[in-house]
Structure formats: structure tokens, C-alpha cells
């Protein structure tokens, strides 16, 4: 059984951090090269249930290559519904227009996309749909790489502290928001244009490293030129390179809503798996995923 854990000063995590850019010439040069020869056409898409005017949306990306929903999908969507949030689901499967059984019951709006393109291709679809058909709405964006939410998301989604809110930020590479979840306030056509190239509907990347370099590492910096931006928690890298992997239990004890799924997979080396499973059990989450 888990006991209470507090973030210690040596953790070097900063709460309510105002974004500060820290670009490097090395990454900028690499990015220009990648953008020159790694850009691809965006994945095919089909709107199954259209977005309608709402005050706010929770946009959730479900990656379901085998056409099935997993227990963590049901948990996340059920929590979003219980919070009374309007839910826009972008679902990636390998068969055009076909989504997992039971998914429609959670979705106020639903878009199918093909498998390529990673999460930013799904984010672009969701954000452009809201900007066009529900202008002025706040949009909470998240993907299925995290367990949760284990805390109320409405303060983030309905009353964000910044125009662009990241849940965690890191200095690794350059100061950036980790892209598993973020909030855009007052989204409309002008604001989505100011979010810039990382959320283009016209192109996509099909390699994970390209997505990180050309989209994740730069989207907060580009947005911050035109709007306020900040994160709930920031690591300067001196002690903690990745808050989600290195301080998950402490963050949850502080009311943080998410835990990375990869802590029970490829990044299990960062935390004892039993500790993460206990955390899921404590929050009523299925342990199998």
C-alpha cells in the first residue's frame, strides 16, 4: 500500500512555470533538415460525428490498430464523461471509418484517421475541427499514452491559467511541453494559425524522432510568440530530466492527474512496477492497462 509522498526541494520541480524559450542552433539545424525531407502527406481522415458549438471540449486520441478499445480507454473516457466534459474522440484504426465497438457511446464528436502520423496528426484534426465549428471553445487535448485522469480536469479545461497550458514541461533538448496533454484556451481560426506548423492539417511525420524534434519540442515556443504559455510543473533538468518518468508518485500525491503507461512497459526501469500498479489500484484503474 502506498503512503503519502511529498515533492522534496531536491526534486527541482517548479510549479506554475511561465514558459521561457531556450532554442539551440544544433536542434534548429537538425529540424530544418528533417522538415526538408521527412514531411509526408497527412493520414486519411473521416468525420463520423461532427463537432458542434460548445463552451469547451476534451479531445482524446485513441490509437486502436487492432480495432479494440483497451481498459485504459474506457477508464479515461468514463472519467471525462463523469466530469461533464464534451468529448471529441479522434480514433486511429486500420480500416477506413471503422472504430471500436462501444466508442461512440462516449463521444459527442468522433473523427476517424488512418494509422500513420502519430499523435500530432490527431491533435491537428481535433483542433482544426473545434476552431471551425466551435470557435472560442477551450480545448483539453490528451492521448492514450497516459493512465488517468486521477484528478478533476475541469480547473485546467475550464479555467486555464495560460492561453496554452502544459501539464508538465522539461528542459531536455530545449524547454518544451510534454505533449501527452495540454490545453488551448479560446481556440478559433486565428489562434490555431498562431499555434503554427506543429498542428498543420496538410503535412505529417511518420517517424517518432521527427515528431519529437519538429513538433513536440517546438510547439510551445512557437505558440508563446502570440499567447501566454506555462506549465503546471517544470523540470530544469538539473536533477529530473523527465518529471513523468522520474517523479510520478510524488506528482500524483500533489493532485497531478496522469501517469505514463510506459512505466509498465518500455520505461519500467524508472520505477518499480509494483509501485505503479499500487497507484492504479488506489485510483480504481484496471491494472492490465
123: domain CATH number is 3.90.550
Report d(CA 62, CA 111) in Å as an integer.
10
Whether 72 is in a domain gets the answer yes
pLDDT of residue 5: 40
Q: Domain count of the chain?
A: 1
Report d(CA 229, CA 215) in Å as an integer.
16
Whether 70 is in a domain gets the answer yes
Whether 93 is in a domain gets the answer yes
pLDDT of residue 12: 72
pLDDT along the chain (289 residues), means of 10: 42 89 93 88 97 98 97 98 97 97 97 97 98 98 98 96 98 96 98 96 95 97 98 90 93 95 96 95 86
Whether 220 is in a domain gets the answer yes
> Residue 160's closest CA among 177, 190, 131, 139?
139
Say how far residue 288 (Cα) sits from the centre of its chain: 21
Number of C-beta neighbours around residue 151 at 10 A: 16
Whether 175 is in a domain gets the answer yes
Whether 288 is in a domain gets the answer no
* Residue 227, domain extent: 9-282
For β-strands 87-92 and 109-113, DSSP reports them as parallel
Whether 230 is in a domain gets the answer yes
Whether 2 is in a domain gets the answer no
Contacts of 22 (CB under 8 A, 6+ apart): 171, 174, 175
Backbone angles phi, psi at 77, to 5 degrees: -65, -35
pLDDT of residue 3: 34
Amino acid at each position: 500500500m502506498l503512503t503519502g509522498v511529498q515533492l522534496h526541494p531536491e526534486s527541482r520541480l517548479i510549479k506554475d512555470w511561465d514558459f521561457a524559450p531556450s532554442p539551440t542552433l544544433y536542434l534548429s539545424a537538425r529540424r530544418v533538415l528533417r522538415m526538408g525531407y521527412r514531411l509526408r502527406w497527412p493520414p486519411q481522415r473521416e468525420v463520423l460525428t461532427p463537432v458542434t458549438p460548445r463552451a469547451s471540449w476534451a479531445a482524446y486520441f485513441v490509437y486502436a490498430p487492432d480495432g479494440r478499445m483497451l481498459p485504459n480507454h474506457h477508464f479515461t473516457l468514463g472519467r471525462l464523461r463523469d466530469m461533464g466534459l464534451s468529448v471529441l474522440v479522434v480514433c486511429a484504426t486500420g480500416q477506413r471509418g471503422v472504430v471500436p465497438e462501444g466508442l461512440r457511446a462516449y463521444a459527442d464528436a468522433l473523427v476517424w484517421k488512418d494509422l500513420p502520423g502519430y499523435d500530432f496528426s490527431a491533435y491537428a484534426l481535433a483542433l482544426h475541427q473545434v476552431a471551425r465549428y466551435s470557435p472560442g471553445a477551450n480545448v483539453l487535448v490528451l492521448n492514450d499514452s497516459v493512465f488517468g485522469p486521477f484528478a478533476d480536469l475541469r480547473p485546467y479545461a475550464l479555467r486555464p491559467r495560460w492561453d496554452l497550458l502544459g501539464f508538465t514541461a522539461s528542459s531536455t533538448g530545449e524547454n518544451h511541453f510534454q505533449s501527452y496533454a495540454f490545453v488551448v484556451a479560446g481556440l478559433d481560426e486565428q489562434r490555431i494559425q498562431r499555434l503554427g506548423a506543429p498542428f498543420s492539417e496538410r503535412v505529417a511525420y511518420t517517424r517518432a524522432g521527427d515528431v519529437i524534434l519538429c513538433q513536440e519540442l517546438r510547439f510551445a515556443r512557437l505558440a508563446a510568440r502570440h499567447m501566454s504559455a506555462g506549465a503546471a510543473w517544470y523540470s530544469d533538468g538539473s536533477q529530473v530530466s523527465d518529471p513523468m518518468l522520474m517523479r510520478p508518485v510524488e506528482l500524483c500525491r500533489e493532485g497531478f492527474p496522469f501517469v505514463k503507461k510506459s512505466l509498465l512497459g518500455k520505461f519500467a526501469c524508472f520505477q518499480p512496477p509494483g509501485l505503479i500498479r499500487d497507484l492504479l489500484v488506489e485510483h480504481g484503474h484496471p491494472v492490465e492497462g
